[in-house]
Structure 1
Amino acid sequence: MNDDKPFYQHHVFFCMNVRDGKDARQSCGNCGSEKAQKHAKKRIKELGLSGEGKVRINQAGCLDRCEEGPVLVVYPEGTWYTYVDTQDIDDIIDTHLVGGKVVERLKI
């Protein structure tokens, strides 16, 4: 591996935090983040974009932005997104991860 390049071109973290209780604040895990993360992981594999030097889709604990969520963050850029459904996830994949452009309508 070349030490000058990151291990992954893009590393995507989906907040999966779940808060319970009647007084609990909103949490990404209660807003469909598991379904979205699994969809992204499957789609990246189907596109042949997974693996070293490519794209990694990960689960994360609380990213502390649940009120804006559900949320994900793309590194190394540090671009934060919110989303509603798998169409939004596809837009992030197609536009940002493949096309290299930020999806302004979903950016936090």
Structure 2
Amino acid sequence: MSDSLYYKKHVFFCMNERDDGRPCCADRGAQAAQEHAKRRIKQLDQNGEGKVRINKAGCLDRCDQGPVLVVYPQGTWYTFVDQSDIDEIIDVDLLGGGIVERLKV
């Protein structure tokens, strides 16, 4: 894939943990959400080269708006509450090419 992106979409979930009392994504279900997204993308056979990659990230410096994830290459930032929000991001953005406006941050 030398002339194109290796992944059609690359998703980074903030997994930051803080111990100073400030908000952090880890305390707001980021791990479970990332695992759900990874599992669902695999079930849909949308993982791998030319498709979708779901990754964990360290601090993305937006924990006050979190939990957060960012989708590249377009750079769309989302927040989420539960698995249905993750499913909507998968269906509308990752697979459908749209934007989930209600979840954008």
Q: TM-score range by the shorter chain?
A: over 0.9
TM-aligned CA deviation for residue 70 of structure 1: 0.1
Paired residues, what number? 105
How big is each residue's C-alpha offset from its partner over 1:9-39, in whole Å with a ceiling of 9 and x where there is no partner?
A: 0000000001114xx2100001000000000
Q: What secondary structure is seen at the aligned counterpart in 1 of 2:54?
A: strand
Which residue, out of 51, 55, 71, partners 1:54? 51
| Match runs of 1:1-108 below 5 Å | 2-21=1-20, 24-108=21-105
Unpaired runs of 5+ residues, structure 2, are none
AA in 1 matched with 2:91: D
Identity of aligned residues (%): 64
Unpaired runs of 5+ residues, structure 1, are none
Alignment RMSD: 0.6
Q: Which has the higher helix share?
A: 2
Whole-angstrom distance in 2 between the partners of 1:47 and 1:20? 37
AA in 2 matched with 1:79: T
TM-aligned CA deviation for residue 3 of structure 1: 1.8
